[in-house]
Amino acid sequence: MEPLTNLAECTPDELEAAVAAIGAPRFHARQIYRWIHRRGVDRFEDMTDLPRDLRAELGARFRVETPRIAADATSSDGTRKLALALADGRQIEAVFIPDTPSMTFCISTQVGCAMACDFCLTGKMGLVRNLTAGEIVGQVRVLAKATGLLGEPFNIVLMGMGEPLHNYDATMQAIRMLHEPDGLALSPKRITLSTVGIVPALERLAAEPLMPNLAVSLHATTEEMRTRLVPPNKRYSLHDILDVCRRFPVRHRSRITFEYVMLDGVNDTPEDAKRLVTLLDGIKAKVNLIPLNPAPGIPYERPSDDRVDRFAGILADRGLTVMVRKSRGRDIRAACGQLIVEGGTKKSAAQVMANLIR
């Protein structure tokens, strides 16, 4: 038997087609989209404004998949990390970061990640698989329900597990589905896409009608150092990434965020800070310094606050807007680069897990 179509993956148009295919009036599609995406309801029998016989018919023909909360941990600072189980049993993590000052959901786009950044725990897993658009959107629904924020304003950062531009189509489809007026009607201005900088995908993104805010993980000021820390740099160099950024259609009064993880004694010298200023010249940029969140298996240290402040000071003195990202949720391993779940493909992931479980 064919598996039932999962309506959580459908755009409103696709939902209309699905509804029409079972001989029901098309306008019910909008109601169903609202139930799923705006109210977080995934049982057809609970969609109470639909005729009873239609609910039964929908239940027999379709399903609505929502990631299931497999673990739920709250940090002493209020950050909350959910481990979410997908239909195939794979797991991902999604994080709620309150009062930043806004409410922020940190969402995954892949199970694992292929980028293999040297300081990132998720990178040690390797890529297990891409998430579907429905799975990306589903995380938002689950977080919003779990935190009581369904219907309230919140921001989304695509900074969980995975590289969003390495799963381009599903990521952009998710942004469109979140924007639907019958869904959460979320403005793309409330979404930040963070990427290592995959040049052809950045070029594609530059032409998107629904444009999220862009954050680029820079992390180094020379090609050599960046290739060591962020292996995709071999193919998509610092130079080429900054070139796209220089031409990127940045919204009025907006800027590209450049993320810079600070590794003690590696990329955090005053010379690095000065080079960074030169590199970003002519780009509408702001810099987000992320002092390393250390983890077992990660061969770097977090610099002292003094070192971070000195680096930030050099940027600020030369007119760059700079923020130091406060590390949140470290006690529950919810901080940047600390998201990892079992089932990774690489041996090193198993070793890392063994260290963590210890």
What are the residue numbers of the active site? 93, 336
**Residue 356: partners with Cβ closer than 8 Å, 6 or more residues away:** 295, 296, 333, 340
**Residue 10: partners with Cβ closer than 8 Å, 6 or more residues away:** 18, 33, 134
Q: Does 337 bind ligand SAH (CB under 6 A)?
A: yes
* Helix, strand or coil, per DSSP, at residue 288: strand
Q: Does 117 bind ligand SAH (CB under 6 A)?
A: yes
Closest CA to 312 of 282, 274, 279, 281: 274
Of residues 208-237, those binding ligand SAH (CB under 6 A): 217
Q: Which of 9, 16, 135, 163 binds ligand SAH (CB under 6 A)?
A: 163
In order, the DSSP letters of 309-341 are: HHHHHHHHHTT-EEEEPPP--GGGT-STT----
CB of 296 to ligand SAH, least distance (A): 11
CB of 110 to ligand SAH, least distance (A): 9
Q: Does 119 bind ligand SAH (CB under 6 A)?
A: yes
Q: Does 159 bind ligand SAH (CB under 6 A)?
A: yes
Q: Does 336 bind ligand SAH (CB under 6 A)?
A: yes
Q: Does 108 bind ligand SAH (CB under 6 A)?
A: no
As given in the structure block, the two tokens for residue 16 are 């209309």
DSSP state of 34: I
Q: Does 128 bind ligand SAH (CB under 6 A)?
A: no
CA torsion, points 98, 95, 8, 48, in degrees to nearest 10?
A: -40
Of residues 255-314, those binding ligand SAH (CB under 6 A): 259, 261, 290, 292-293, 295, 298
Give the separation between CA 151 and CA 141, rounded to whole angstroms: 10
- Sole residue written with tokens 């950024």: 245
Stretch that binds ligand SAH, among 1-9, 18-26, 97-105, 193-201 (CB under 6 A): 193-201
Q: Between 19 and 157, whose beta carbon lies closer to ligand SAH? A: 157
CB of 348 to ligand SAH, least distance (A): 15
DSSP state of 234: G
Q: Does 194 bind ligand SAH (CB under 6 A)?
A: yes
Q: Does 196 bind ligand SAH (CB under 6 A)?
A: yes
Instruction: Kindly state the helix (H) or strand (E) to which residue 70 belongs, with its residue range.
Output: strand 68-74
As given in the structure block, the two tokens for residue 60 are 């027999």
Q: Between 93 and 163, whose beta carbon lies closer to ligand SAH? A: 163
- CB neighbourhood size of 169 (10 A): 11
As given in the structure block, the two tokens for residue 312 are 């930030």
Q: Between 54 and 125, whose beta carbon lies closer to ligand SAH? A: 125
Tell how far CA 32 is from the center of its chain.
26
Q: Between 47 and 127, whose beta carbon lies closer to ligand SAH? A: 127
Q: Between 58 and 292, whose beta carbon lies closer to ligand SAH? A: 292
Q: Taking the chain, what is the end-to-end CA distance rounded to the nearest angstrom?
A: 44
CB of 167 to ligand SAH, least distance (A): 10
CB of 170 to ligand SAH, least distance (A): 14
Q: Between 135 and 259, whose beta carbon lies closer to ligand SAH? A: 259
- Please state, in angstroms and as integers, the Cα–Cα distance from residue 174 to each residue in 13, 188, 251, 300, following that order: 14, 11, 21, 34
- Gyration radius (Cα) of the chain, Å: 21
Angle at 77 between CA 71 and CA 79, to 5 degrees: 40
CB of 195 to ligand SAH, least distance (A): 5
Stretch that binds ligand SAH, among 125-133, 191-199, 275-283, 350-358 (CB under 6 A): 191-199
Q: Between 15 and 292, whose beta carbon lies closer to ligand SAH? A: 292
Of residues 72-101, those binding ligand SAH (CB under 6 A): none
- Footprint of ligand SAH on this chain (CB under 6 A)? 115, 117, 119-120, 159, 163, 194-196, 217, 259, 261, 290, 292-293, 295, 298, 336-337
